[in-house]
Amino acid sequence: MASVDGCRAASAEAGVKEVGLLCDEARLLREQGRFPEAERLLRRAVALEPTALAPRLALGEILYVMGRDAEADAILVHALAMHPESADAFRARGRIATARHVFDVGERMVRHALTLDPSLAEAYCDLGWICHCTGRYVDAELAFRKALQLQPDHVRTRCNLGFLQLLLGNYAEGWISHEARWLTESGRRRVEFNAPAWDGGDLAGRTLLIQHEQGFGDALQFVRYARLAAATAAKVIVVVPKPLRRLLEEIPEITVVCRMPMHYDLYCHMASLPYRFGTTPDNIPAEVPYLFVPVVARKRWSALFVDPVDSERRPLRVGIVWAGQALHVNDSLRSISFELLAPLFSVPGIQWVSLQKDGRPDEMDDLVAGRGWIDPMGDVDDFEDTAAIIDQLDLVITVCTSVTHLAGGLGKKVWTLLSAYPDWRWLITRAEDSPWYPTMRLFRQSVLGDWEPVIAAVRQALFEAAHAAGACDAPETWTDANPAPPKDFQVTLAETTPPIQTRLAEPTGNRQTTDDGPWLEKLEQRFIASPFWYHRIPLRSNIETPGWAPLNPEAYDLPERMDGLRVLDVGAWDGYWTFEALRRGAREVVAIDDLSDGLGVAADIPWRNWENFDVCREALGFDESVCKRYTMSVYDVAEATLGRFDVIFLFGVFNQLRHPLLGLERLAAVCDRSLHVEAAIVDNFSPYRGGIGCGYPNGQMLLEYYANAELGNAVENRWAPTLHALGAMLQTVGFNRIEGWKLSDAPSRQYLCRGVVRGDRVV
């Protein structure tokens, strides 16, 4: 393989060939995990050849790998503006939409890529993953096998097929496919060993090194195999991160270390142990406990619980975990907003114990007040401490995190709450139980992102458990005396779980009629062919435009009906909110946009116009008498030109305003009822304070200014307020009732750090 230095030297001498050599050098840097360096080279290549497709595709891919989805998508939009027949660009955009869990848009993009290039194995791999994530497992396997037919050595497809096979219980093939992970970019950067890999053969008289990989949960699940290996090996050494060491040292058959030893005969990665032991769903070594709590730790934590001396009943001790690590690729799907758990806290006879290590939500104190809540995690150093706490509990309720494996390995009763798109280890062929943990019960979503039925089922089961333990009375003798606090305070929270979408009913008035027919196929092709769609707009006949925003329309809390109202939509873009107001009965909507916001796309590419808006207006059958649109700046809004409005939307525009208070004053001057503003906020995120989780969470009254694309890497973004500051600004311009809420209480990505404020004029 060529070296980075070799490519760099050739690049310096090559002149006209420099772009290709820069791309080659960037590829090598990427393979070494040096992503920022690769990005710099690719941006240089793009600057040298602005119309070249290859460096833009490579730049989009590196940004995607770095988790900067919005930037990657903008780069690809730019590429499609110049290369509208690029199957690779459509496929890459589909992959980004899939990463955002907007699966239907991702599928549409990927299928269009396949119409342009039916031999594109990458696209079949992406299609298979979309089908996997949406529960179409037969279609997923067909797509994966088609990709492998086209490209037998396609590593990502082999890995994805392995996850599917394991999820379906096909362990015989699944473990083999799972080994392909070592051929991926990250796999090739694994630890180097000075002994051969164990192939599952005789271990007699030999020392086996087992190397930790992946997350804490994987280690806690698979360490059971170390005991099996120790039954025949002379010695088994397990290398794990420090937080696991004290707990695993209690397994008497193994030696636990945190650093790679010098001497051993064979090695095996932790997640390869099931394969080497020939594991099937029927022979999983499921004897528990296989994890043990040290006596010293048990004594140290025993003082945490004191049974009431004046009561005949001991409360049921229940530990709870509602969120995993925010950096996990699927955390937005597996984690639950704390406020959604409120129904559980009304069950009587429960002593709640938080096992959540990080991420204490602001609303916790209100929801658990008077519930006997204990939160010991601030004093927890490692998994030994957590295990000692769990050892004293009657039940653990948790989402899919390391705690579920810890509780299961300890043999404790554990209820695991699963997304409709579960991890492979939870076997879609099993309804409520797991062959890995005999004391575990699974509660599964039926619809992706919909946790309410899951919480309702857990609540009922929890009451039954408390009643069976004698901790509370029968159901007919108790009532929910302490419901969750009402949503009546000034700044409220509305948690959303992207990308759940709501299809709204067809409008009943103010529209023309158009017969469905041959135009449907042509219309969908117009959607796909457009270089960029921002809004995802539901039309007729189950057609939607291929954008991605807004993530959750219901979170904007607009009135269900807007009959007779005149509405101004500022920064209309493709027109989602314009058409939404008309669907809800507005008598007229005026849409304005100065078409200046490129969402990160270079300003010298003149692709923004009203074409997308007009396509949707035509498809929905709204004529210009009720749906007008003008190219206009917010600073030019005046009663003399536009008249007055009952309701004004300012969604996704505030951050781009050079003079935000002036813009709000212009809108307030023509608004008779309410002004709705949605914007990026800095309560949970600040680029100056460390990123996600490092904002201003305590009601500070401030705005941050960005001179050089610090917010979202978009030069258009100038300001971002806290939620309280945004509310105060609406009050300043004349609205006397203010309500605000976050779109996500615990956002895991910067683009989810947004808030809505509504200002009303109340007489």
pLDDT tens-digit series, residues 173-183: 999 999 998 88
319 by DSSP, 3-state: which? strand
Residue 369 has pLDDT above 80, yes or no: no
Residue 194 has pLDDT above 60, yes or no: yes
Termini Cα distance of the chain: 75
Distance, in Å, from the CA atom of 485 to the CA atom of 651, rounded to the nearest integer, reads 28
Distance, in Å, from the CA atom of 289 to the CA atom of 272, rounded to the nearest integer, reads 22
Task: Annotate 614-637 with b (16+ C-beta within 10 A) or e (fewer).
Answer: ebbbebbbbeeebbebeebebeeb
- Mean per-residue pLDDT of the chain: 84
**Phi/psi zone of residue 380: left (φ > 0), alpha (ψ -120 to 50 degrees), beta?**
beta
Contact predicate 29/7, CB 8 Å: no
* 153 band by pLDDT with thresholds 50, 70 and 90: very high
Span of 411-425, 527-541, 706-720 with lowest mean pLDDT = 527-541
Residue 515 has pLDDT above 80, yes or no: no
Q: How does pLDDT run across 58-83, given as a tens digit for each residue?
A: 898 888 888 888 888 888 888 888 88
* 13 band by pLDDT with thresholds 50, 70 and 90: very low
Give the single-character DSSP code of 603.
Answer: T
Looking at the domain that runs over 550-613+620-760, which CATH code has it been given? 3.40.50.150
Span of 297-306, 539-548, 624-633 with lowest mean pLDDT = 539-548
Q: Which of 489, 493, 498 is nearest to 723 (CA)?
A: 493
pLDDT, mean of residues 516-523? 60
Span of 32-36, 650-654, 668-672, 737-741 with lowest mean pLDDT = 32-36
Supply the DSSP string of 647-705, one letter for each residue.
EEEEES-GGG-SSHHHHHHHHHTTEEEEEEEEEE-SSSEETTTTEET-S--S----EEE
Residue 308 has pLDDT above 90, yes or no: no
Distance, in Å, from the CA atom of 440 to the CA atom of 590, rounded to the nearest integer, reads 56
> Quick one: what percent of the chain has pLDDT higher than 70?
83
Give the single-character DSSP code of 533.
Answer: -
Helices first, then strands: H and E counts in the chain? 28, 21
Return the higher-pLDDT residue of 677 and 513.
677
Q: What interhelical angle do 519-529 and 611-620 show, nearest 10?
A: 160
Q: How does pLDDT run across 466-477, given as a tens digit for each residue?
A: 989 888 876 533
pTM of the model: 0.62
Q: What is the pLDDT of residue 717?
A: 87
> Quick one: what percent of the chain has pLDDT higher than 90?
53
Cis bond before residue 289 (omega within 30° of 0): yes
Same fold, 295-485 and 550-613+620-760: yes
**Phi/psi zone of residue 446: left (φ > 0), alpha (ψ -120 to 50 degrees), beta?**
alpha
Q: Which of 218, 199, 165 is nearest to 404 (CA)?
A: 218
pLDDT, mean of residues 599-607? 43
Q: How does pLDDT run across 107-145, given as a tens digit for each residue?
A: 999 999 999 999 999 999 999 999 999 889 999 999 999
Domain segments of the chain as ranges: 1-50, 207-276, 295-485, 550-613+620-760
Q: What is the pLDDT of residue 497?
A: 28
User: How far are the Cα atoms of 241, 357, 367, 622, 645 from residue 588, in angstroms, in the given order?
Assistant: 62, 51, 42, 10, 10
Residue 370 has pLDDT above 70, yes or no: no
**Tokens representing 127?**
């299609």
One CATH from 3.30.420.40, 3.40.50.300, 3.40.630.30, 3.40.50.2000 for 295-485: 3.40.50.2000
* 28 band by pLDDT with thresholds 50, 70 and 90: confident
Alpha helices by DSSP H, listed for 530-620, are: 576-583, 611-620
* 524 band by pLDDT with thresholds 50, 70 and 90: low
Q: What is the pLDDT of residue 606?
A: 44
Q: What is the pLDDT of residue 522?
A: 66
Task: Annotate 658-694 with b (16+ C-beta within 10 A) or e (fewer).
Answer: eebeebbbbbbebbeebbbbbbbbbbbbbbeeeebbe
Q: Which of 625, 559, 596 is nearest to 758 (CA)?
A: 559
Span of 57-66, 307-316, 655-664 with lowest mean pLDDT = 307-316
Distance, in Å, from the CA atom of 664 to the CA atom of 673, rounded to the nearest integer, reads 14
